Structure 1
């Protein structure tokens, strides 16, 4: 059922249950590149309800891809799982869960099984594993089902731009958190007339390589819209130097180019939708990457050495998703594979979400081209 142009994709999880990692903006490999993080579900044909659990585990690539279960969580979705990721370069993992007091993050050492809990859930974690940025997952679930978590209503549901909810910094050592940008403050920054009467939210946060600066999407919509309109913004972890890199209404997936610029599939007036590279400075340069080679949105990321861009596509007219590798300097685009993706309800779809390993020699994807949701690895 899969149609590959060059590279074979090898399943590293068993078809007895469904497995996935989630988003494209973090590596599922540990620093040694032996262990691969994954999530295991008993079903794949519906969105998770409150109380539905997934099992978190690691795959031992040095032992026939043996699956080792670690724990479970009830805060997850099909797009991004439970925000599961390695914490720094050690043996700890971090992910979100739900308890009597709401959503929160858990940190577990996979060797000693020692565990600690944080007061807030995490969205993005810096590379050193010292700080995170958090947001309101109930608001996200209410305004964009499939990216938040079921189980807790948003207490600001009827408030368009809350003054006491937004982005929070979270110290992963002490557990201390602080509101660094409210939705009201974001809406008042370089305010646009089209903000009026819209519900505002934050989504898709990612740190740059300098550990202190991060990017995020500021989205706003009417109650009957699905996504709405978007601005691409950046700021420092202490809440300073807020910038808007793009305000032409449409921004989707993105990745940092070190700490200098942000590559994003976005729209620009008079040009249309392309991969644009936005310099992270006031009045910064904007470049088109790849020209018209890329026809659709995809989950883009730079290789560890910065020479390549990896991305994917949404299903074409034959219901296949393409896995694409682009050499930036040579302007060369290679199709690594095409994977059958049967039509599914949008909230439970299985995007490839391609992820690099630590040295850029392998790529891991989630796919359902063999009839069940599994994790696959391709050598580059």
Structure 2
């Protein structure tokens, strides 16, 4: 953001409706002018008709030979109950040309897909709907069905033993477009702080679930502002640390009758000690990921300033600001190494979404791409079909994949960085 945009943003950032109206009007003025041209540092391979979803999961196989993908089967609109998404993967050996389908699912959205992810080197897991309940399916990469878990998952530990979970009905009601269009009987939406639901862990081998932290218990962890006591609280964006010891998540609340005004914070649960740590942020945390050193990069508001913050340990007591003010707008991060991450931006006034490579040691920022985010893909109230780039690095750190609509269709894209 330039200085003027930053000034306006800071003035309206706590009022989502006014912020949305001003953004639409601002972009509308520039819609009159000729479009900016797409730019990328290297050629982009775009697989139209496919997408992956959020930035926090790695769709690449551990040896980078396979790339998980979702194929959508409906036109550009929100999915209705019962409508399916096809899951599968592309193979590097045939230059990512042929899609191998594995299965279909009825539990999905555009932003986070069906939480398709590698469970180990041979199998994948994703959410589905069965007999009026949410489940998760495990398939071998050769297409063989292996197992159904009785619960939906959000993220899995790297050893494939545990998964995180929460109420997708509660999430969909309080953060539309991130859950699924079904009831699960565990939302307890009439309660601000229900004790029956919250953050769950799943033992994948035993097919059992445990309530790790209830939403009611979240009131007692760290400092919760008094003004959110009459907001409806929920859990989302859960992610295990690489070593499996910690489980990070966002604790959010929303004033449902006040135009979706949200409060959020980042928490990290120590599964070994049974302790929960709260980040020393103000009232906003949007996106985060772990690196292999158990550090967290998060876009958040800290000391009144919105920026990328590197938390040096899971307790989040020590931290430093990264690449500010060069990067002063929200983004979705993915680590290329322990010190370098890729991030994106939301569409600017020209409707151009950008990709950057960031060095946390030197604060150097490399400009990777600027791609058109077509107006027809702009979400409207209650219809969250926008396509964020959501960049995701491969394990080698030399290729990024992302979702984009710059070709005119939603597409899963690949771009080498070397």
TM-score strictly above 0.5: yes
Q: Are residues 1:249 and 2:283 paired?
A: yes
Are 1:275 and 2:312 matched, yes or no?
no
- In the TM superposition, what is the alpha-carbon distance from 1:117 to its structure 2 partner? 0.7
Higher strand share: 1
Asked if the contact 1:233/1:246 (under 8 Å) is kept, the reply is: no
Structure 2 unaligned regions, length at least 5: 1-35
| Residue 22 (1) aligns with residue 53 (2) | yes
The answer on whether the counterparts of 2:52 and 2:412 sit within 8 Å (CA) in structure 1 is yes
Aligned residue number for residue 37 of structure 1: 68
- Out of 28-37 and 124-133, give the one that drifted further: 28-37
Which string of whole-angstrom CA distances, capped at 9 and with x for unpartnered residues, describes residues 147-206 of structure 1? 101121654111111101011110111111100100000123234312321100011111
Give how far 1:295 is off. 2.1
Q: How many residues are matched?
A: 373
> How do residues 94-109 of structure 1 correspond to structure 2 at under 5 angstroms?
94-109=125-140
Structure 1 position 221 matched with structure 2 position 264:
no
Tell me the equivalent position of 1:233.
Answer: 267
Q: CA deviation at 1:265?
A: 0.7
CA apart distance, 1:379: 0.6
Check the 8 A contact 1:245/1:280 in 2, yes or no.
Answer: no
* Corresponding residue of 2:193: 161
Q: Among 7, 10, 18, which residue is 2:45 paired with?
A: 10
2:218 aligns with 186
User: How far apart, CA to CA, are the structure 2 residues paired with 1:257 and 1:60?
Assistant: 26
Instruction: Give the one of 320, 328, 331 matched to 1:298.
Output: 331
Name 1:171's counterpart in structure 2.
Answer: 203
TM-score, length-scaled by structure 2: 0.85
> Could you list the runs of 5+ residues in structure 1 that have no partner in the other structure?
none
Gap change, CA 1:267 and 1:103, over 3 Å in 2: same
Q: Does 1:356 align with 2:393?
A: yes
For residues 334 and 309 of structure 2, the distance between their equivalents in structure 1, rounded to whole angstroms, comes to: 13
How far apart are 1:30 and its partner, in Å?
A: 1.2
| In 2, Cα distance between equivalents of 1:106 and 1:237 | 25
Residue 203 of structure 1 aligns with which residue?
236
SS of the residue corresponding to residue 169 of structure 2 reads helix
SS at match of 2:176: coil
- Cα distance in 2 between the residues matched to 1:250 and 1:119: 33
Helix, strand or coil at the partner of 2:250: strand
C-alpha displacement at 1:281, in angstroms? 5.6
Report the TM-score, using the length of structure 1 for normalisation: 0.93
Deviation of 1:227 (Å)? 5.2
Partner of 2:179: 148
1:283 is displaced (CA, Å) by: 7.2
Across the aligned residues of Structure 1 and Structure 2, the Cα RMSD in angstroms comes to: 1.8
Supply the distance in 2 between the matched residues of 1:159 and 1:232 (Cα, whole angstroms): 22
Match of 1:75 among 107, 112, 133: 107
The aligned counterpart of 2:29 is none
Asked if 2 retains the 8 angstrom alpha-carbon contact of 1:44 and 1:348, the reply is no
Farther-moved stretch of structure 1 (259-268 vs 160-169): 259-268
> Using the alignment, how far apart are the partners of 2:107 and 2:272 within structure 1?
27
Q: Is the 8 A contact 1:136 1:165 kept in 2?
A: yes
Tell me if the contact between 2:167 and 2:184 (Cα under 8 Å) persists in the aligned partners: no
CA distance in 1, matches of 2:379, 2:390: 17
- Among 72, 77, 93, the alignment partner of 1:46 is 77
Q: Kindly provide the CA deviation profile for residues 183-239 of structure 1, in whole angstroms up to 9, marking residues without a partner as x.
A: 000123234312321100011111112212011110011113425101110003368
How many Å separate the matches in 1 of 2:214 and 2:272? Answer: 13
- 2:414 alignment partner, SS class: strand
Q: Give distance in 2, aligned partners of 1:2 and 1:307.
A: 31
Partner of 1:246, secondary structure, is coil
Distance 2:143 2:351 in 1: 44
Query: Distance in 2 between the 1:138 and 1:340 partners?
Result: 33
- Give the match for residue 363 of structure 2: 331
- Structure 1 residues 107 and 321, CA gap change in structure 2 (3 angstroms): same
Q: Secondary structure at the match of 1:125?
A: coil
Larger helix proportion of the pair: 2
Q: Is the 8 A contact 2:116 2:124 kept in 1?
A: yes
